[in-house]
Amino acid sequence: MVLAGGASRRMGRDKATLPFDGSTLVERVVAAVSGRCAPVFVIAAPGQPLPELSAQVLRDEVRGVGPLVATGRGLRAAAEAGCDLAFVCAVDMPYLSDELIDTLVGPAVRLQADIVLPWDGRDHYLAGIYRTDLTQRISGLVAAGERSMRALAESVDTQRIVMDAQQRALTNVNTAADLP
């Protein structure tokens, strides 16, 4: 299972549908994780146009509430599909690879941590393995006014896997200048 977050508009347009190397970013992410994750869920904003995807699209009820709410929705769907673990990622990672997922899932299973994140000098909250039973914790954090993934990671057993600082799979696109 993967949760690819919805409509970030930091570049003045929807990043999910940003064209990159012959497809959109969301198509690239879905293709990258489909070999390792099933089912695949994409969380999208209300009314957000998306290309045809080989994933189940779940719509947020409200725009702009942050990735924590979307993560909770995706983890709930993954739990209902019978998954104990989910790879949670953003759609703005054009070089995401199944090798990154493989690197994280081993420690997630072995350590029984709630969250396993890649760390290359900073946490990558939207490129990690999450236990699907975190939905109750997320609901409580959201009810308390929290919206950040950091709030979740700081409230549960989170393990970090040190990555090479040049890990291309963790590259994300936040501005037009980030595009190659």
How does pLDDT run along the chain (180 residues), one tens digit per residue? Answer: 445 444 444 444 578 888 888 898 999 999 999 989 999 999 988 888 899 999 999 987 766 678 899 999 999 999 999 999 999 999 889 999 989 999 999 999 999 999 999 999 999 999 999 999 999 999 999 999 999 999 999 999 999 999 987 788 998 886 556 666
Helix (H, G, I), strand (E, B) or coil at 95: coil
Question: CA 49, CA 147: separation in Å to the nearest integer?
Answer: 24
Question: CA 62, CA 59: separation in Å to the nearest integer?
Answer: 9
Cα four-point dihedral sign 144, 157, 95, 2 = negative
Please compute Rg for the chain using Cα positions: 15
Q: How do strand 85-89 and strand 127-131 relate by DSSP bridges?
A: antiparallel
What's the pTM value of the predicted model, to 2 decimals?
Answer: 0.90
Q: Which residues pair with 51 in a beta bridge?
A: none
Question: CA 32, CA 24: separation in Å to the nearest integer?
Answer: 12
C-beta separation of 117 from 153 below 8 A: yes
Residues 6 or more apart whose CB falls under 8 angstroms from that of 4 comprise 16, 26, 29, 30, 33, 40, 41, 42, 43, 55, 89, 90, 91
Question: For position 13, what pLDDT does the model report?
Answer: 59
Closest by Cα among 27, 21, 24, 23 to 40 = 27
Phi, psi dihedral angles at 53 (to 5 degrees):
-125, 150
